[in-house]
Structure 1
Amino acid sequence: MAMDSPGASMAARVRALVAAHRGDRGALLPILHRIQAEFGYVDPDLVPLLAVELNLSRADVHGVITFYTDFRSGPAGRALVRLCRAEACQSVGAEQLVAHAEQVLGIKVGQTTPDGSVTLEQVFCLGNCALGPAGQINERVQGRLTPARLEALMVEAVHS
């Protein structure tokens, strides 16, 4: 990461986060969560920095980031749509809802629309099982989603 790049301020902030957790056992996960909360994603260019700062291998850092689906490697869209694919939601139409969302948005789960308006993600339980199929749009959990209701909520989220 070059010091004159926009990432220089991110690198400085990451060093401060590492310093705040230095000496903690298992510091990597809390640091990654803080990075994601602050920047919206974990930039892959931070892997070498985190590895050096935490005395870990790059492979270890990369492995943790890619293992946990909550960590994104790029910015999310203006609307973050997370659809539940756990068994309770599957039994009431979650797979059809996911397929509909992919078709309408023209992307697959894990992708962001080319215009940056919507990121579509999957989760495996939102704790809203009795009201499935469930989803989360910009941090707000929604139940009994239908294709039409999901589309309306996505439009509302993009324009709010």
Structure 2
Amino acid sequence: MAERSPWAEDRARAIVDDHRAMPGALLPLLHALQEEFGCIDEPAVPLLADALNLSRAEVHGVVTFYQDFRRTRPGRHVVKVCRAEACQAVGAESLLDHVKRTLAVSEGETTPDGAFTLEAVYCLGNCALGPAVMIDDTLHGRVGPARFDALAKTHRAEDPA
């Protein structure tokens, strides 16, 4: 996963300036800010509201409506476990339980060492190869407990010491 910058208003304003003229700019701006900073920091809400002539409530409503937007920074690796019906049919719930036990976190939490954030999602678009797991931007199919453990071990080993 790409290293995320800490919140910087000048950088956020530059991102806003790059996107504000787009039709329906709010969603692309939110994605761009989250890509840069890892989450939608609280100071981004009034900045976006002012730049797009929206109320803070409107911006806040969009941020909180879509599950993809985070209000806190994630771990170095984001683990998404699919809970859609096709994956459930082939063991996604037991895999999710295993991942929770292995990482010692619940959905939406980050491990104490900051290595992993766990998210349960509904459909990764890999229905034929469930249970599906996405770690960072890489999709994995037919993931069972042993395969998840190997993937987690590989990602931990890649982290800087």
TM-score past 0.5 threshold: yes
Measure how far apart 1:134 and its partner are. Answer: 0.5
Take 1:71 and 1:146, find their aligned partners in 2: how far apart are those partners? 28
Mind listing any 5+ residue stretches in structure 1 that lack a counterpart?
1-5
SS in 2 for 1:120: strand
* Aligned equivalent of 1:95: 93
Say whether the 8 Å CA contact 1:79–1:154 is kept in structure 2. no
Take 1:49 and 1:76, find their aligned partners in 2: how far apart are those partners? 22
Say whether the 8 Å CA contact 2:131–2:143 is kept in structure 1. yes
Question: CA offsets per residue over residues 85-104 of structure 1, 9 Å max, x none?
Answer: 11100111111111111122
SS in 2 for 1:44: coil
Measure how far apart 1:35 and its partner are. Answer: 0.9
Q: TM-score, normalised to structure 2's length?
A: 0.88
Sequence identity percentage: 56
Q: TM-score, normalised to structure 1's length?
A: 0.88
Take 1:17 and 1:104, find their aligned partners in 2: how far apart are those partners? 38
Equivalent residues in 2 for 1:1-160, closer than 5 Å: 7=7, 10-160=8-158
Say whether the 8 Å CA contact 1:78–1:158 is kept in structure 2. no
Take 2:73 and 2:60, find their aligned partners in 1: how far apart are those partners? 17
Measure how far apart 1:128 and its partner are. Answer: 1.2
Measure how far apart 1:20 and its partner are. Answer: 2.0
Question: CA offsets per residue over residues 27-54 of structure 1, 9 Å max, x none?
Answer: 1100011111122221123212211222
Take 2:20 and 2:130, find their aligned partners in 1: how far apart are those partners? 42
**2:106 is aligned with what amino acid?**
K
Say whether the 8 Å CA contact 1:102–1:108 is kept in structure 2. yes
**2:88 is aligned with what amino acid?**
Q
Measure how far apart 1:73 and its partner are. Answer: 1.5
**1:137 is aligned with what amino acid?**
I
Take 1:44 and 1:81, find their aligned partners in 2: how far apart are those partners? 24
Q: CA RMSD in A?
A: 1.5
* Aligned equivalent of 2:3: none
Say whether the 8 Å CA contact 1:78–1:157 is kept in structure 2. no
Take 2:128 and 2:30, find their aligned partners in 1: how far apart are those partners? 32
**1:26 is aligned with what amino acid?**
G
Take 1:36 and 1:23, find their aligned partners in 2: how far apart are those partners? 19
